[in-house]
Structure 1
Amino acid sequence: MRRHFSGPLPAPLPLACLTFTLLAAAPLTPALAAETAAETAALTNGATSADAGQESPTSVGTGAHDRGGEILVTARRRQESSQSVPLAISVVGGEHLDSTGAFNVGRLQQLTPTLQFYSSNPRNTAVNIRGLGVPFGLTNDGIEQGVGIYIDDVYNARVASATFDFLDVAQIEVLRGPQGTLYGKNTTAGAINITTNQPTFDFQGKAEVSIGNYNFKQAKVAVSGPLSDTVAIRLAASTTDRRGTIYNVTTSQWIQSQDNIGLRGQLLWKPADALSITLAGDYSTQDANCCGSVYVGYGPTQRAANRQFPALAAALGYTPVSTNPFDRLTDLDTPLRAKNKIGGASVRVKWDLGPGTLTSISAWRFWDWDPSNDRDFTGLPIVALSQNPSQQDQYTQELRYNYSGKHFDFVVGAFGFYQRIDTQGTESQGSAASRWNINPGTNAQVPPGSSGCGPTASNKLACDPAVLDGLVAYNTQYLKNTSAALFGQLSWHVTPELTVQPGVRLNYDKKEGYYQRRVFDGQGDELLLGQSSYTPTQTAQLAIYTPQEISPEFSDWNFSYDFNVSYKVAPDVLVYATYAKSFKSGGINQNGVPVDSANNPILAAQTVKPESVHNYEAGIKTQFWDRRATFNLSIFRTDVGNYQANVSNGQYGVLRGYLANAQKVRSQGVEWDFSVRPSERFNAYVNGSYTDATYRKFTDAPCPPELSGGTVATGTQTPGAAGTPNSLSPANCDISGQRLPGVSKWTLSFGFEANTPVTLLKQEGEVYFGYDGSYRSNFSSNPSPSAYTWVDGYSLSNFRLGFRTDNGFDIYGWVRNAFDQNYFDQLFVGPSNTGLIAGLPGDPRTWGGTIRYNF
């Protein structure tokens, strides 16, 4: 039986009211945008044109075209038309990002259907493609990303960078499938290749201001121009501020706010036509009142009835502030904090050397994370503090040589990577922790108004707040991550129509970690293992936080390769097929490992095996109707062995989650992109995907909450029925054949823009009206699919209405989630198998206006 927790949908807006809303406040952008050929050349080689960096409307997705022109991409580390690249790629231009309000990767997923983005806070962020990338759940620093994020050729190791605002972006390419033979860091699921606008030798700039409901305020500015005949500079800044969408009645504050600032500077030196050197630096900060959750509901587990959420809440006199999550009310009692800083510097050297181009990218990145979370998801003082501040430094060096010729193109490169992460964690229990976590010894349902600590309570520890109040664990950990690789790809044009493209990669990875947990009681006395005996109080405390110290290590060599064949059936019809044998490096458990019955760490769980990836893909790319229309189709299948999965024992103690290998996973499906521009007055697009991503073999997975919480069945004992209190629980579950978390089978993005020339206030220009919509079917929001955590499918609609002129002036109104759809970004299972379900509602309807000027 599936249980869904979703509030009632509002009645449809009356047509007249909707029409007025659209006219007064419709959402962002000209349709889909990408750079023209001249603009993209300027972006990647050092701009010399006054038009460099200016954007014009076009469509989104593979083969998006600019009024019959081409979109140039650098997916294969050289400039070429997206339609000639034999791989699945979606292209989104900077103007379309701005206009649709897609100012970070989270909003980008509404435009690119096979991209999935989940974030409960910046650190716990996942970016996946085709359902693959990183495990769904709490972040573990000890594994690699499966989706690489590159900004101006610089690899960003932290997914946290995906939560920041896009800053002065020219174009984004979303590459689907393994990319290890062309990109510095090996990526098994795909890559997000972000290109920013580059310095120009002609003065130009742009400025933009937006305001909206929820006190939304956003400003962006970028200026570029020459300092001399050989030196040009570009400076950009952005700021985003918005009141939160959830009200915390405990603190009288709005949470889930936005408070972002971004700065970027670039200096281009061209001492000769064949040589360009770009020095870039950036800094971004977030200081939001974030990140929290709301009460969604209760789903029975197999725990004793008096140990489940309704009885525990009654015993502690607790009632959620609202049982309708879309009232957007919470009562979290732990102060929330999500301070996030990221930045760095890079030097890119491009030198036309001989028949090709030598490129060197040297970069340093840093990341500083300062959080505070409420991990019990309630207004009760159970988990009083949960925070794991982290600091990262990352150094990368990439060197590659590109050659393009009549019969051969090739790229050869080398990549070096070093990362150091230091984390200092603090977790502590509050005054309600004893009653919540310790069984008072009765299986009777707690009557209203009763604490459960009467004469029937055989375990008085549950009735003594001092047993766990003030219990604290200090976690110290570090990670040293080193990687080096040689890679290359050859394109052999056997005939003008037939191209054969093999690629290879040799990779070495080494990870060294350290994890220490020290535990102190409320009086400040340290709890140590190895004693001959423990008091009942100490035993109860050690069940919550167990001291641990491990030093996991992993190192390995890996060889991977791919092979692609493409054939031009006609000048505007390309067919291709690809096989790739790839891998994701092995990992280490940085957040602790499970313990045995004597509380000793199970050292075999310190490391996880590398993923072995086999990817098969075939596709067709077409343009027709005098290139007014583009249709691209791809089919794919990816088999993953030793899939790196997040698992959890469901308890507060020991650890919240750790990594383990699932035996086999498969993702397969179909993707398509269609765009049409019959004239300069209208364009439209429909992009979509069907993704079947499942565990093919995972026989010892953690059980979902409805099959957890009871005494573990042993020997010939038979586990109880799902969701039956006081039942025996299986030690683990076989979830083979079930869907991977976070993956919708069907996803769509669609939209159009129409315009008409007008003269307004003596200015020649055009009035335009645009629509961008997206749809995704239901998905699981728990690593092991649970009846309680399926997120219902939903559709979002964004509108915009505006006026723009040929001289760069643009003013428009916008409304996003126009029909105020109630939906969840994620659902969370509360700890300790109490059946509590919490959630993160998606944004409600927002509206506002934007003024932009390019000069």
Structure 2
Amino acid sequence: MLDLNRIYPDCRDNSLKRWGVTFSKRICLVVALLFTVGAINQAVAEGALYKLDIPAQPLGDALQQLAERADIQIIYSRSLVADKAAPALAGNFALESALSSLLIGSGLSYSFSSKDSVVIKAAPVEPESSSGNKSSRTPDQKQTKGFVLEEVTVTARKREESLQDTPLSVTAISGTELALSQINSSQDLSNITPNLSFDSYASASGSNAAASVFIRGIGQTDFVPTTAPGVGIYIDGVYMAQSIGAAFDFIEVQRIEVLRGPQGTLFGKNTIGGAVVIHTKKPANEFGGRVEFELGSDNQTNGTFALDIPISDQLLTQVSGTVRNRDGYVKNIITGRDMGDDDSRGVRFAALFTPSDNLEFFFTADHTHERENGAPNVLVGINDRAPFVAIANAASAGCPVSFPPPQSSPLGNSACANSQWELAPHKVAANADLVSELDVYGTALHVDWDLDLLNIKSISSYRKVDSSSRRDGDNTPLTIAHTGDVLQQDQFSQELQFSGTLLDDRLNWMFGLYYFTEEAENPNIVDLSIGSILSGGEVESRTKAVFSQATYNLTERLSLTAGLRYTKEKQTFLPDQYALTPYLSPTGLLLPLDQGGSRILPHDTVTNEISETTPMATLSYYVTDELMTYVSYSEGFKNGGFHQRIPAPLPEVPTFGPEFADVWEVGFKYTKDWLRINGSIFNTDYTDIQTVVRRGFAPVTINAGDARINGFELEGSIVPTPNWYFMFGVGYLDAKYINIPTEVLNNNTINKSSELTNTPEWSTNFRAAYSKDVGELGSLTLRLDWIYRSSAFKTTNNASYLEQQSYNLLNAAIIFEDPNQDWRIMLAGKNLHDEIYLINGADSLGTAQGVADGAFSRGREWTLSISRNF
């Protein structure tokens, strides 16, 4: 095996790491000093009492007056306060006392989502039990009684607001809901999110943590740094630029929002399909924490912990971590190792510093460490008359074939590569030393400064990805196509947001600046039966953007939102691709690479620059206090890139252009006591589509043409009684190519009848949960989930052997909690009827390489977990 570090000795030396850390520290220090000096010059609010004179009036108006007087944000849906009155309030009140007084007799309660943000929600109703006692179960919050329809807050528009007041197709999932749904990692999100596909084994990657994410049929299957993802992944407002490292376990998640459709105005480039926005928990103001231990099938042993340590009233800290261990589920009969295993560690530190009532610093640092056996890829097709396979067979001692010409090899002879090694779905005979290793580091500083006329937010971040993986592309005992991939990536970003209200709070505005820079080195070795090459190179990108968005309340029920973003990006690529050993032709003569060290591409830097403007507009109208409707238009783009997998010499680096999406959407959001239901219908014009095809035997990205994608989402939650809880989601996609350039038609196995990759027509999920009081012991909850996905192709050429067939999943859980919800025991099962389905795949069967591989799902799983809050 070739030593990548020996061949490419400087691949671990990344200058951006030194520059990024230094620059990040300087930026953060300047911002911190600026904000701190400003805070010192401001008068700190004296005492915690507010002088109020609020007359008796409708509850919504009274809450608005309190919010203005206390200079806080009070979030509630219109339907929640409709037809409710508030009593008069006069005198000096603490904020908590004022809220309690206004809500008395309304059937509502409140909670603080941050120091200056309050959420109004329905107060839980105590369910009856067979014994006449009261239950203590709620899906989302501790120490409330029974299931209730919780008020959900989101920041999809970069300001905190009720989900039901947000004119956008959003799925929002709380941290508690994630735990109770057995959603421990990012790839599980597609089980409860319509029109989302989230795979952790990107095509041809060999890594267990290479995300392939699609929303509404738009995403990216490739993972190399010269291509960009089509769905943005954000953690606490920080963009994760690379696919590798974007499939991860959750640590102390407060909430996840899946935003569907282009988010080009507020989030920017590479959110053309949408965005997955993850919010982590902030430290609590009292000492406490949580521990959880889990056992399960495949020798699964997982543990998580979180510990809140307040240093003072102004400085709060939190330490959290997770350990995951699980055997792989694909047996490699050559090495005896299990592929697709879990062996990861994660740790996170958070600190919240509030030197005054209007200034907040939130710092986070995280590290993820994975050392695993490799992706669970298996052989799904082989052509032993293809040149690479035929040459390997001819060179294999004991395989009775010669070359040329290509000959079929005998089945049953283990020295030959042929269909006898098609052992899918859970067995493989790979002779490569497969591995998947990953280290991710990240730091971020959030500064939130509330002034009289505006709010200023700063997000400074540095992240690093260090990955190494090896893949056996042929999955046979012979060496036909092996790849080794190393990624060293560093990124720094700085975002400034300015927001406020004008015109008697009828205009809510935001203005922002964004800067992002990235460097990545991605050398990869390709060992073929005809020789070895080094592929890849160095990639740099720099992005600058300015954006603005404003919402104007035309009337009490009608609002207009408009936004615009200007993005300018510069990318450079320095290819470092050459032959490591001579290429041999079938006759034994040298191919154009006549010696080791021959260049495949010129060792010259190439540049790609782009500037784009992405607008959006939304008109929302409250038909009633319970029903909001909206119509919106938005645009997004994904930047172009470079081909870095070139098998034969070329005079210059091939490139591909950006892709674009324009979306019209009509939707509604309805809430009434025990029912919440949200729906959207959309039409997408998807142009200059980036998709992966084969050039020779190498996967490359091209602009394949244009498509139209129509569809809808429908989601709902129902709480008919405090004992019962139902949730459902339905997504539908009708995607068709409408234009394919002649050049693409002539050179690729793609036409107008081809289906778009990773675009199932239907995606549905349903949940039923029942909670029962068991006396003084606590409560018992039974939960049943059903997930359905219709079929979808995993490759551009719609290869039948790489089609994900439609599948159904059935998950269930029994959950016991003590009366105070300090202890929780959960016995859970996933995929109870043992459904096996394709996750991802790569197709070279029709090329000289002559093989196709794919990864399949695990079978039935069970877990038993116990957690303790203290």
TM over 0.5: yes
Check the 8 A contact 2:322/2:345 in 1, yes or no: yes
Check conservation: 1:299, 1:788, Cα contact below 8 A: no
Say yes or no: does 1:758 pair with 2:777: no
Select which of 221, 225, 232 maps to 1:148.
Answer: 232
Pairwise CA distance, 1:632: 1.2
How far off its partner does 1:318 sit?
4.0
Secondary structure at 1:788 match in 2: helix
Q: 1:766 to 1:514 in 2, by over 3 A?
A: same
One of 808, 819, 831 as aligned partner of 1:795: 808
- Using the alignment, how far apart are the partners of 1:159 and 1:37 within structure 2? 42
Structure 1 residue identity aligned to 2:499: N
**Structural mapping, 1:147-226, within 5 Å:** 147-183=231-267, 185=269, 187-226=271-310
Per the alignment, residue 399 of structure 1 pairs with 496
Counterpart of 1:499, as a letter, is S
Note the alpha carbon deviations across 1:681-724, whole angstroms, 9 max, x for none: 11011101111223322245878xxxxxxxxxxxxxxxxxxxxx
SS of corresponding position for 1:570: coil
**Which residue does 1:838 correspond to in 2?**
853
Partner of 1:748: 764
Contact 2:195–2:763, Cα closer than 8 Å, also in 1: yes
Match of 1:782 among 790, 795, 799: 795
Distance 1:554 1:220 in 2: 44
Give the drift of 1:67: 1.2
Residue 713 (structure 2) aligns with = 671
3-state secondary structure, aligned to 1:199: coil
| 2:665 aligned with 1:617 | yes
Please name the residue that 1:825 is paired with. Answer: 839
Pairwise CA distance, 1:546: 7.0
- Equivalent position amino acid for 2:663 in 1: N
Rounded to whole Å, the distance in 1 between the matches of 2:730 and 2:339 is 33
Kept in 2, the 8 Å contact 1:293–1:839? The answer is yes
Q: 1:372 to 1:96 in 2, by over 3 A?
A: same
Give the 4+ runs in structure 1 shifted more than 6 A: 43-47, 299-310, 540-546
Please, which of 600, 610, 614 is the counterpart of residue 650 of structure 2? Answer: 600
Q: Is the 8 A contact 1:573 1:620 kept in 2?
A: yes
Which of 486, 503, 517 is the aligned partner of 2:546? Answer: 486
Query: In 1, are the aligned partners of 2:693 and 2:702 still within 8 Å (CA)?
Result: yes
> Shift of the alpha carbon at 1:320?
5.6
Q: Is the 8 A contact 1:303 1:833 kept in 2?
A: yes
2:268 and 2:691 mapped to 1: Cα distance? 25
* Native 8 Å contact 2:314 2:355 kept in 1: yes
Whichever residue aligns with residue 694 of structure 2, its letter is S
Equivalent residues of 1:687, 1:749 under 8 A apart: yes
1:17 alignment partner in structure 2: none
Instruction: Output one character per residue of 1:102-138: Cα deviation in whole Å (capped at 9) or x when no partner.
Output: 111211111112111233334643111111022x2x3
Shift of 1:199: 1.0
Q: Is the 8 A contact 2:383 2:418 kept in 1?
A: no
Deviations 1:610-637 (A, max 9, x none): 223211111011123xx21111110111
Match among 709, 715, 733 for residue 691 of structure 1: 733
- Name the counterpart of 2:684: 638
Counterpart selection for 1:537 from 570, 574, 589:
589
Supply the AA of the counterpart residue of 1:816. K
CA shift, 1:379, in A, is: 2.1
Instruction: Extract unaligned runs of 5+ from structure 2.
Output: 1-107, 120-135, 202-206, 394-405
SS of residue matched to 2:685 = strand
How far apart are 1:302 and its partner, in Å? 9.8
Distance in 1 (CA, whole Å) between partners of 2:507 and 2:718 is 33
Q: Is the 8 A contact 1:212 1:847 kept in 2?
A: yes
Do residues 274 (structure 1) and 355 (structure 2) align?
A: no
**CA distance in 2 between partners of 1:579 and 1:230 (Å):** 43
Equivalents in 2 of 1:847, 1:701: separation in Å? 51
User: How do 1:372-451 and structure 2 match up within 5 A?
Assistant: 372-383=470-481, 385-404=482-501, 406-429=505-528, 433=529
TM-score by length of 1: 0.79
Question: What corresponds to 1:131 in structure 2?
Answer: 217
Whether 1:362 and 2:445 are equivalent positions in the alignment is: no
Mean Cα deviation higher: 230-239 or 782-791: 782-791
How far 1:143 sits from its partner (Å)? 3.0
Quote the residue 2:780 is aligned against.
767
Partner residue, 1:75: 156
Distance in 2, Cα, partners of 1:183 & 1:672? 24
The 1-side partners of 2:418 and 2:383 are apart by 16
Per-residue CA deviations over 1:543-582 (Å, capped at 9, x if unaligned) read 9997223533111221120110000000010100011133
Aligned-partner SS, 2:298: coil
Secondary structure of 1:648 counterpart: strand
Query: Deviation digits for residues 562-611 of structure 1, max 9, x if unmatched?
Result: 1100000000101000111332223233x14576xxx43454x2x22222
Work out whether 1:852 is the aligned partner of 2:867: yes
Out of 559, 570, 575, which is 1:499 matched to? Answer: 559
- How many residues were matched structurally? 717
SS of structure 1 residue aligned to 2:245: helix
Instruction: State the alpha-carbon separation in 2 of the partners of residues 752 and 299 from structure 1.
Output: 48
The equivalent residue for 1:261 is 345
Which position in structure 2 is the counterpart of 1:116?
197
Q: What is the root-mean-square deviation in Å for CA atoms of aligned residues?
A: 3.1
CA distance 1:106–1:491, change in 2 (3 Å): same
Counterparts of 2:600 and 2:109 in 1: how far apart (Å)? 60
Question: Does the Cα contact within 8 Å between 2:283 and 2:316 map onto a contact in 1?
Answer: yes
1:289-320 alpha-carbon deviations (Å, 9 max, x no partner): 11142233458999999899992565953466
Equivalent residues of 2:269, 2:637 under 8 A apart: no
CA drift at 1:788? 3.0
Shift of 1:848: 2.0
Deviations 1:227-250 (A, max 9, x none): 012100011100110001011110
TM-score, normalising length: structure 2? 0.78
Q: Mark the CA change 1:237 to 1:797 in structure 2 (over 3 Å): closer, same or farther.
A: same
Within 1, Cα distance between the matches of 2:291 and 2:186?
22
1:56 positional shift: 7.8
- Aligned runs of 1:545-556 on 2, under 5 Å? 547-549=600-602, 550-556=604-610
Q: What does the per-residue CA deviation read over 1:7-58, in whole Å, with 9 as the maximum and x for residues that have no partner?
A: xxxxxxxxxxxxxxxxxxxxxxxxxxxxx996561389799xxxxxxx9844
| Distance (whole Å) between structure 1 residues aligned to residue 490 and residue 569 of structure 2 | 17
